[in-house]
Chains A and B, each alone.
Chain A
Amino acid sequence: MAKPKRLREFDVVRDDEKCIRCEVCCRMCANDVHSYDAETDKVSADSAKCVGCHFCEDVCPTEALVIKRNKSQIKQNANWKSDALGNIIKQAETGGVVLIGMGNDRPIRDYFGRIVLNASQVTNPSIDPLREPMELKTFIGSKPDRIELVEKKSKVRNTTEIPPQLELETPVLFTAMSFGSISLNACKSLAKAACDFGTYWNTGEGGLHKDLYPYAHRCIVQVASGRFGVDREYLKKGAAIEIKIGQGAKPGIGGHLPGEKVSGEISSTRMIPEGTDALSPAPHHDIYSIEDLRQLIFALKEATDYKKPVGVKIAAVHNVAPIASGIVRAGADFVVIDGIRGGTGAAPQIIRDNVGIPIELAVAAVDQRLREEGIRHKASLIAAGGIKSSGDVVKAVALGADAVYIGTAALVALGCHLCQRCYTGKCNWGIATQDPYLTKRLNPEIGAKRAYNLLRGWSLEIKEMLGGMGINAIESLRGNKEQLRGIGLHEKELELLGIKHAGEAW
């Protein structure tokens, strides 16, 4: 029978006049799109294989290539769009679950885009960050609600012990991305940038490769349901520990790194046999309740002599505020909330696109809940999932976050074009792949510089926005919803975010 084909997503358009037959595209494309025929001296493309990563376009020395979205030829239909059709066709062929990479690409309401910031006029001078100090220093960890002072030799001294803290020069950290889901060069790039700038990176659940030891002092080591790479040494090396319960891109779902990707390096880092599948169960099988989580938190604190903050990461789901409250009561020093737009290396598309809630609502709800219960100081709050710009950072902090995690933004700085095919392992940019031919394209020195530049650029912008509001320290922005106004938001949404509508004064 005639089988339907999936709609071609892209057209590779080549200007034959410009093409010099250098064949760089043919050699570079991991998806084998381009080929050269010596007999006819023609370079041709199999557009059906193109994933839209734009690598060939960017490396073509004569700019002969343009990757264009294929204009859909199917009958227009508001309900049955080409991606829905495409997935059905795919499943009709394979009978499997449709996989996808990166964050949700559906038009889930973007609250950041509907929130605007304040600035000072007349009654309050705005502050120029180029002339005046402007402070972004942020501490992640549990704080006491007060301190006890004594007078010693006519000097005031503190007698309160402060739990361990992470000290950040900017309220932005690199989120969990494992060695396995991304290449070692990508890990190195982010790790080095975090160290150079004075923030933190995160191992994900891939363990800590030996080459990353020099950056371990600014690394948050993750303990996830697969417990890959976790041993005493690993816990001691990191600056903090993060228990991963869930992820915004796939709440309630485990992970699966196929055996063919478990190379020698990954095998030794994850401490599993070479070539075996690395399966992360959906739940931790030693955590079936909040009291079990408490045990793991304290087991990890015991293992590290109470010298490192231990946090818990969860996906933003309906009941996120009470869950976060329980996590704080269970002893976590920080809580990470990952919203529905959070990225991933691989997830079932149906989960990524349909499960969870936006980070803006989740952060506002969690912050408010912790304050109402009088335990907000006991843990820091890190927001993740869809932070696209420094504006989003400022809004997330004003909604109640202490800091934000970025993942996708950091990968875009390294070259990612969000083709969403991370799970294929054929990343032409050398990011989401373990193929040495591909990974060597990402130079960790240059990658680190680019990721550092991103942090620097955003930090400068955050300072400009703070100065405009007449604020010179980030702690005066944290939870400062007075500086936010909603545009075109429903009353209920404003109530949940805890902000007023634009046009309303103080």
Chain B
Amino acid sequence: MQKKLIPDIDYRVPSACGVTGIMNQKGELFSGDAIYASICNMLERGSGLGSGFVAYGIYPELKDYWCFHIMYQDDRAKENTEDYLKKNFGVKHSEPIPTRRVKSLKFIPLLWRYFLEIEKEVGSAEDYIIKVVMDINKEIEGAFVFSSGKNMGIFKGVGNPDEIGEFFRVPEYKGYIWVSHNRFPTNSVGWWGGAHPFGILDWSVVHNGEISSYGVNKRYLENFGYFCTLSTDTEVITYLFDLLVRRHKIPFETVGNILSAPFWSQIERIEDKEERELLKTLRMVYGPALVNGPFSVIVANSSCMVGLNDRIKLRPLVAATKGDFLYISSEEAAIKIVSPQLDKVWMPRAGEPTIGKLM
């Protein structure tokens, strides 16, 4: 029934958006109030058709278990998925994701979370989790895993950020990285899975933009076993980060040079020959990973939060620091509402990643 209402499962829906992220670089936990206030100061950047939050450090008692957040269209999808999970994992704990009733929200799916342990011999646990998530999302009708990391979780749905935040009781959690998104898609969407953040493993991505290189990036990722089931641009960016950082072991600074590669004219001007050769090689080898078109993204995992713009900065992105806190946002106003007295505020340049790391 619902499937008919969900264009972004079958089509790519471009969207403009607001993004904001807060990180305590010492890893100290703080409540979701801050991110809630920040994203709600950018309501203009969304259209009530999607928003979401991601928080790191929220499940300290179960931090060693893979935590899946799954949305179901109906009970059958839930039964099928739970059978599948039981076959492939030890299920330590499962429960409905706690929510509060918000009148204006529609098409609310069943929302469950599972804390899982890999009991069999699988080689790389990360690759196994990716395979499992791809399997469920591709093969089990009506089920969608939207969060699959450890000690972190994504909360998202179709609605304004104030509604979604209240629905998922976001201010009640405590985390050391918080990232949020407010969506303005260009056509009506009814499916909760299409909202941001998008995540795989402990990666999460919020994204403001439209990727003109989507066709190239998607086909490139298929080479490495990533299948874009969702048809969203954001999914592509998430997988690119996982491929480059986790599997190819490329540092974040260098990933910036791949996703928003410097222009040839800039590369030619670099004096350090080895550096010049490196950048040239990156473009040669990772050309299909170049993300073209306007975007600003905030990418996070358990140890970092990174902001990145496209190569000619066609979408806004501001960064700021205050003590151990790093802020990255579409608008300065969304930062100032949380922390009016900042140590430093700056506009990251096109293609230059802003990196926050756990100290």
B281 CB–A CB distance under 8 Å:
yes
Interface hit among B26-34, B48-56, B124-132, B289-297: B289-297
Contact B216 A149 (CB under 8 A): no
Looking at B16, B212, B286, B311, which has the most chain A CB atoms within 10 Å of its CB?
B212
Chain A 444-484 near chain B by CB (<8 Å), digits 1 or 0: 00000000000000000000000001111101111111110
Tell me the complex Cα distance, A180–B264, Å. 39
Known: A124-B210, A470-B292. A162 touches B274 (CB 8 A): no
Contact B283 A471 (CB under 8 A): no
Contact B263 A135 (CB under 8 A): yes
Query: Which one, B231, B281, B292, contacts A147 given CB within 8 A?
Result: B281
Query: Which one, A149, A160, A481, contacts B251 given CB within 8 A?
Result: A149
Tell me the complex Cα distance, A123–B295, Å. 11
Interfacial residues of chain B within 249-273, with CB under 8 A of chain A in the complex:
249-251, 253-254, 261, 263-265, 272
Known: A478-B288, A505-B11. A471 touches B215 (CB 8 A): no
Chain B residues, CB < 8 A from A354: none
Interface hit among A136-144, A231-239, A327-335, A403-411: A136-144
Chain A residues, CB < 8 A from B277: 158
A97 to chain B, nearest CB (A): 44
Chain A 471-506 near chain B by CB (<8 Å), digits 1 or 0: 111011111111100000000000000000000011
Known: A158-B278, A374-B223, A482-B215. A144 touches B264 (CB 8 A): no
Query: Which one, A120, A149, A477, contacts B254 given CB within 8 A?
Result: A149
Interfacial residues of chain B within 31-75, with CB under 8 A of chain A in the complex:
none
Contact B312 A506 (CB under 8 A): no
Interfacial residues of chain A within 149-165, with CB under 8 A of chain B in the complex:
149, 155-158, 160, 162, 165
Known: A149-B251, A371-B219. A478 touches B292 (CB 8 A): no
For chain B, the count of residues having a C-beta within 8 Å of the partner chain is 49
Contact B265 A156 (CB under 8 A): no
Chain A residues, CB < 8 A from B213: 471, 476-477, 480
Contact A123 B186 (CB under 8 A): yes
Contact A506 B285 (CB under 8 A): no
Chain A residues, CB < 8 A from B261: 473
B214 CB–A CB distance under 8 Å:
yes
Interfacial residues of chain B within 275-318, with CB under 8 A of chain A in the complex:
275, 277-278, 281-288, 290, 292-294, 311-312, 314
For chain A, the count of residues having a C-beta within 8 Å of the partner chain is 46
Query: Which one, B12, B274, B278, B290, contacts A473 given CB within 8 A?
Result: B290
Chain B residues, CB < 8 A from A479: 215-216, 219, 288
Query: Which one, B209, B247, B251, B285, contacts A143 given CB within 8 A?
Result: B285
Tell me the complex Cα distance, A160–B278, Å. 10
B343 CB–A CB distance under 8 Å:
no
Question: Which residue of A has the minimal Cβ distance to B314?
Answer: A125
Chain A residues, CB < 8 A from B283: 475
Tell me the complex Cα distance, A155–B254, Å. 10
Contact A158 B281 (CB under 8 A): yes
Tell me the complex Cα distance, A143–B222, Å. 17
Tell me the complex Cα distance, A471–B254, Å. 21
A308 CB–B CB distance under 8 Å:
no
Chain B 1-35 near chain A by CB (<8 Å), digits 1 or 0: 00000000001111110000000000000000000
Tell me the complex Cα distance, A377–B285, Å. 8
Query: Which one, B11, B223, B272, B294, contacts A470 given CB within 8 A?
Result: B294
A146 CB–B CB distance under 8 Å:
yes
A376 CB–B CB distance under 8 Å:
yes
B248 CB–A CB distance under 8 Å:
yes
Known: A127-B312, A371-B223, A480-B216. 12 other contacts (CB 8 A): A124-B14, A124-B212, A147-B282, A149-B249, A156-B278, A158-B282, A470-B293, A475-B216, A476-B293, A478-B287, A479-B216, A506-B13
Q: Which 7 A-B pairs have the closest CB atoms?
A: A475-B287, A482-B215, A506-B12, A476-B213, A476-B292, A480-B215, A470-B212
Question: Could you jot down 7 A-B contacts, CB within 8 Å?
Answer: A124-B210, A156-B278, A158-B282, A160-B281, A162-B281, A475-B290, A481-B215
Using CB atoms and an 8 Å cutoff, list the residues of chain B in contact with chain A: 11-16, 186, 209-210, 212-216, 219, 222-223, 231, 247-251, 253-254, 261, 263-265, 272, 274-275, 277-278, 281-288, 290, 292-294, 311-312, 314
